């Protein structure tokens, strides 16, 4: 069957308006956020129901077509972009965007894959509940993409990764079969828990079309402080003090270097330095409680007062309003975006045991500075989870292309240090295409063999996201 015939068949299945073949219509689906990949595709399919997703996959699988599921296209490892070979079809989940059920009493919500994360947060908020997943990309990324990448973000410290927020899934398998696993059970030990195959599966094992998710009590009191410190060692000690004293009430602990804040002040609209003087490092700390009566502010002040006396903290600003708390978070969430304005940036999404963060940072910063004199390391992120986005901006005035050409070399250097700390080379962004060849270095032959066998069992014709992950 020729390409045109397939397009005509898909038009019968999902409507001609939902089969995009014109270059201008396809363009937004072919370039990703970092501009690392420029994809080529014969068509973009936009089904609107689970039945339509099923029909599309049934036809694709039976005819040897390759399918790339795409959510909000904010993924950072290239998994959602079709390859340059031009034979992979993009399957956009954006039109599956209904909220199917909200159950505030049972603390659950059931939504379709294309619901944008920010919309989902608002739906929960409207019934006085919290959906805690929070990422810098939350205005664009979709819950189907979040689950497929097992996204982390800034609330992992208190609520866990995306995986921990899921009760049930609805998935269309590569051959078009629909698995309705939309159970809202908190306890269910009936054999293998299949949903976890698809969470973090990066679209290689099935297409998530809907999910039943956990909701939480909405914080009634929330306090945020923006803190200046001299070193990652001080930040780590502040973290352990805060964790010991606040326990589950500590809901955010993010570290940022001065250079990252400077980038924000230069390029992020509305960003202002919350503190008077410059400090080498910053921590954004959030405490929140579902109990109105809990003295959250007193606790935050006590923790910081003690830290100040110990010499851990140089200065701190407390958010005096919700708007100011959002301003502090705006800086943290803008940290990825602003690096683009500073030229080339070589990225590493790594994790090490929390207590190793200062030593890791010292080693890795020295190593990249020795490799590229003048480069600007911008390591930031989720200190409380041991997860650092070890991004390195090019030297001022350097040639961007020549700098980016050293991506693999710098990755090898930094990942080598990560290995020495028994860390992970992909803490939250996944493997996709970007890190596929690195997987062999970090997984044992047995693990790779098991993964390959799982892929073959779920997708024997290699229809879904070929060449990603494995």
Binding site for ligand FAD (CB under 6 A): 33, 68-76, 79-80, 93, 113, 135-137, 141-142, 144-146, 148-149, 151-153, 202-203, 207-208, 336-337, 428-429, 432, 465, 468
**Residue 311 CB, nearest approach to ligand FAD (Å):** 31
Of 117 and 316, the one with the shorter C-beta distance to ligand FAD is: 117
How many Å apart are CA 323 and CA 319, to the nearest integer? 8
Toward ligand FAD, which CB reaches closer, 112 or 237? 112
- Minimum CB distance to ligand FAD smaller for 39 or for 232: 39
* C-beta separation of 286 from 252 below 8 A: yes
The CA distance from 133 to 114, in Å, is 15
Residue 170 or 223: which CB sits closer to ligand FAD?
Answer: 170
Cβ-based neighbour number of residue 241 at 10 Å: 16
Q: Smallest distance, Å, CB 92 to ligand FAD?
A: 8
DSSP state of 277: S
To the nearest whole angstrom, how small is the minimum distance from the Cβ of residue 445 to ligand FAD?
Answer: 24
Q: How far is the CB of 117 from ligand FAD (least distance, A)?
A: 8
> Do 120 and 132 touch, CB atoms closer than 8 A?
no
Q: Shortest approach of ligand FAD to residue 37 CB, angstroms?
A: 11
Cβ proximity to ligand FAD: between 33 and 318 the closer is 33
Cβ closest to ligand FAD, residue 205 vs residue 413? 205
Residue 240 backbone dihedrals phi, psi, to 5 degrees: -65, -35
* Residue 48 beta carbon to ligand FAD: minimum distance, rounded to whole angstroms: 14
Residues 6+ apart with CB under 8 A from 284: 224, 225, 226, 227, 252, 253, 254, 256, 328, 329, 331, 332
Tell me the closest approach of the beta carbon of residue 47 to ligand FAD, in angstroms.
11
- Considering beta carbons, is residue 336 or 391 the nearer one to ligand FAD? 336
Chain residue whose CB lies nearest ligand FAD: 145
DSSP 278-342: --SEEEEEEEEES-TTS-HHHHHHHHHHHHHHTT--SEEEE--SHHHHHHHHHHHHHHHHHGGGG
DSSP string, 79-112: TTSPPTTS-EEEEE-TT---EEEEETTTTEEEEE
The residue assigned the tokens 């929140």 is 288
Question: Least CB distance from residue 42 to ligand FAD, whole Å?
Answer: 17
57 versus 235: smaller Cβ distance to ligand FAD? 57
Cα gap 202→33, rounded to integer Å: 17
- Residue 406 to residue 372: CA distance in whole angstroms: 9
């Amino acid at each position: 069957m020729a390409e045109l015939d397939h397009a005509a068949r898909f038009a019968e299945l999902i409507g001609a308006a939902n089969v995009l073949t014109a270059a201008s219509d396809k363009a937004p689906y072919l370039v990703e956020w970092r501009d690392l990949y420029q994809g080529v595709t014969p068509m973009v399919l936009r089904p609107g129901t689970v039945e339509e997703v099923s029909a599309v996959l049934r036809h694709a699988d039976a005819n040897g077509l390759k399918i790339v599921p795409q959510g909000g296209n904010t993924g950072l490892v290239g998994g959602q972009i079709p390859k340059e070979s031009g034979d992979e079809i993009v399957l956009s989940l954006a039109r599956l965007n209904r909220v199917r059920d909200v159950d505030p009493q049972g603390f659950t919500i059931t939504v379709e894959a294309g619901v944008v994360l920010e919309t989902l947060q608002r739906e929960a908020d409207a019934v006085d509940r919290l959906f805690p997943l929070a990422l810098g990309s939350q205005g664009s990324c979709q819950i189907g993409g979040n689950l497929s990448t097992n996204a982390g973000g800034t609330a992992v410290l208190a609520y866990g990764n995306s995986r921990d927020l899921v009760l049930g899934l609805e998935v269309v398998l590569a051959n078009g079969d629909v698995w309705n696993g939309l159970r809202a059970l908190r306890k269910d030990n009936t054999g293998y828990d299949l949903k976890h195959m698809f969470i973090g599966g990066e679209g290689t094992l099935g297409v998530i079309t809907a999910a039943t998710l956990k909701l939480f009590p909405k914080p009634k009191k929330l306090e945020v402080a923006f803190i200046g410190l001299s070193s990652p060692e001080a930040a780590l000690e502040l973290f352990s003090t805060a964790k010991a004293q606040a326990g589950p009430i500590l809901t955010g602990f993010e570290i940022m270097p001065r250079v990252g804040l400077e980038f924000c002040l230069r390029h992020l609209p509305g960003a202002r330095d919350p503190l008077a003087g410059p400090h080498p490092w910053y921590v954004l700390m959030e405490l929140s409680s579902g109990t109105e009566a809990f003295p959250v502010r007193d606790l935050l002040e006590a923790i910081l007062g003690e830290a100040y006396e110990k010499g851990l903290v140089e200065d701190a600003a407390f958010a005096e309003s919700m708007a100011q708390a959002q301003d502090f978070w705006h800086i943290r969430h803008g940290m990825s975006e602003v690096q683009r304005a500073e030229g080339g940036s070589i990225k590493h999404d790594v994790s090490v045991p929390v207590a190793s963060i200062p030593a890791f940072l010292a080693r890795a910063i020295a190593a990249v500075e020795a490799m590229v004199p003048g480069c600007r390391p911008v390591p930031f992120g989720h200190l409380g989870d041991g997860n650092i986005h070890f991004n390195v901006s090019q030297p001022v005035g350097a040639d961007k292309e020549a700098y980016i050409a050293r991506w693999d070399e710098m990755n090898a250097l930094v990942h080598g240090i990560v290995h020495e700390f028994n860390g992970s080379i992909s803490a939250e962004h996944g493997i996709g295409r970007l890190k596929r060849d690195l997987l062999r270095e970090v997984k044992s032959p047995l693990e790779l063999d098991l993964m390959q066998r799982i892929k073959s069992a779920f997708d024997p014709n290699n229809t879904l996201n070929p060449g990603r992950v494995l």
